[in-house]
Amino acid sequence: MAHAPIPPQLLDVPRERWPRHIAIIMDGNGRWAERQDLPRIEGHRCGAETVRRITEQCASIGMDQLTLYCLSSENWKRPQQEIDFLMHLLEQYLIEERKTILDNNLRVRTLGRRTNIPDEVLRELDKTVELSAANDGMCLNLAINYGGRAELVDAVQAISRKVAEGSLSVDAIDEQAISAHLYSAGQDDPDLLVRTAGEMRISNFLLWQISYAEIWVTEKCWPEFDVGVLYEAIIDFAGRNRKFGGLAD
C-alpha cells in the first residue's frame, strides 16, 4: 500500500514537536453506517479498513506508539449479533493483517481483560503478539475488553497482593509503582488523545495514562477518518504549548 505524503506544513514542524504516542477513541462506526442507510455492522467493517490505513501511515512516519480503543468493557451491552460480528472482525483482522504487521515491523500488545473474549480470538491475538514480539518498530496497542477503572482495580489488587506477601512495602507505592502494574506497563503515556464523531468525553479510556495528554476531537466518524485528518491532528498538537503544570515559555 502506498503511503500518503507528509504535507509541507507538517514537514516544517520540528520533529521533537510531533507526538510520539497517539491514542485514538474510534467512535461513530454505527452512526456513519446509519447515515449511509447501511447496517451498523458495515460501519464496523469500514472502520477496520480505517484501522489498517491509519496504522500503516503512523508506522511509515516513525510514530513510536499507537493505541486504539477497539472494544470497551461496556460494549458487551450491545446486541449479541453486533458483538458476534465485532469478535469475528477482530479475529479476521488478526489473521489477514498479520503479514502487514510483520512487514511493517510492528510490535503488537493488548490492553484489557481476557475474560469474555472467545477462545478463537484469544488464540489469534496471542499468536500475533508472539510473532511480533521481537519487532522494534512502532508499538501497536489494541485495547480490547478495556476499561480504565477496571485497569486501576487490577493494578491495586496486584499491588495489594505484593504488600500482603511482603515483596512490596506500602511506602514504596508511588506513581512509578502504579504505572508498572497497569496493562501498559513499560510504555510511555500518550501525548495526543484523538476522539472521532464529535463526542466530548473520555469514555473510561486510559484514565491514568492521559493525565497530561493533549485532546483533539473531530466531527468525522471513524470510517471517515483519513490520513489528512490524522495530519490535521498532529499539526494542531505541534502548535500547542505543553506546560505540564508549569509556566508558559
Residues annotated as catalytic are 27, 75
Share of the chain above pLDDT 90, in %: 87
pTM equals 0.94
The residues that bridge with 72 in the sheet, in sequence order, are: 146
pLDDT band at 31 (very low <50, low <70, confident <90, very high): very high
**DSSP assignment of the chain, as one string?**
-PPPPPPHHHHTS-GGGS-SEEEEE---HHHHHHHTT--HHHHHHHHHHHHHHHHHHHHHTT-SEEEEEEEETTGGGS-HHHHHHHHHHHHHHHHHTHHHHHHTT-EEEEES--TTS-HHHHHHHHHHHHHHTT--S-EEEEEEEE-HHHHHHHHHHHHHHHHHHTSS-GGG-SHHHHHTTSTTTTSPPPSEEEE-TT--S-TT-STTTTTT-EEEE-SS-GGG--HHHHHHHHHHHHTS---TTS---
| Res 8 pLDDT > 60 | yes
Mean pLDDT of 103-109: 95
Which grid cell is 170? 506500602
| Rounded Cα gap, residues 235 and 230, in angstroms | 9
pLDDT in tens, 140-197: 999 999 999 999 999 999 999 999 999 999 999 999 999 999 999 999 999 999 999 9
Domains observed in the chain: 18-147+189-238 (3.40.1180.10)
CB of 240 closer than 8 Å to CB of 248: no
Amino acid identity, position 135: N
pLDDT in tens, 206-241: 999 999 999 999 999 999 999 999 999 999 999 998
CA 230 to chain CA centroid, nearest Å: 14
